[in-house]
Amino acid sequence: MKHAEQSAISKDSQTPRARLDEGALRQLLGYQLAQASIVTNSAFSHEAGTPLGLGQVEFTLLYLIKQNTSVTASRLARALAVSMPAITVWMAKLEQRGLVSRERSATDKRSQHFGVTAEGAALVTRAMAALLDADHRMLAHLSAAERAMLLELLHKVALHRPG
């Protein structure tokens, strides 16, 4: 394609950086989520990953545990759609770092409940504040109504996941 032909492609139908024609990809939710995740993953790494030593799943686990006292590993696995062995590994790492504590269930000795430690609560609170600030900067080009609509629509998509 010649340069003149490339300029004829609308900027709205081009990839964000390389100016390639997206064609029908523009209509795919998964493609658009993947493109947006490039921005969000970079922000997470810059705000919480590198400075606070948190991975995205670790942050999410810490926050969910902080918000849902005495939660079980099986509920966390269902919430994140990951396997129990994966949750076990992440929880062991968080416990080793002193960010979560575990306690045997009083009613079912096979079950364990997790809580965040004071250190874990402080870390996840700090990370959330930094990430909310980053989100605000990332979405500054959207109106408040557009930001709210984007988050609401993505939540609706997530609510209808299989299983």
Q: Give the pLDDT mean for 137-159.
A: 96
127, pLDDT greater than 60: yes
Q: Is the pLDDT of residue 8 over 60?
A: no
Judged against a pLDDT cut of 50, whether residue 108 lies above it is answered with yes
Contact 127, 52 (CB under 8 A): yes
pLDDT of amino acid 6 = 46
Region 108-132: what's the mean pLDDT? 93
Is the pLDDT confidence value at 11 over 70? Answer: no
pLDDT digits over 41-75, tens only? 999 999 999 999 999 999 999 999 999 988 999 99
Evaluate if residue 110 carries a pLDDT over 80. no
Computed from CA positions of residues 75, 39, 93, 118, in that sequence, does the dihedral angle turn out positive or negative? negative
Confidence at residue 42, expressed as pLDDT on a 0 to 100 scale = 96
Smallest CA-to-CA distance from 44 within 54, 33, 30, 35 is with 54
pTM (two decimals): 0.84
Other beta carbons within 10 Å of 91: 21
- Domains in the chain and their CATH numbers? 28-159 (1.10.10.10)
Question: Under a CB-based contact definition with an 8 Å cutoff, are residues 125 and 99 in contact?
Answer: no
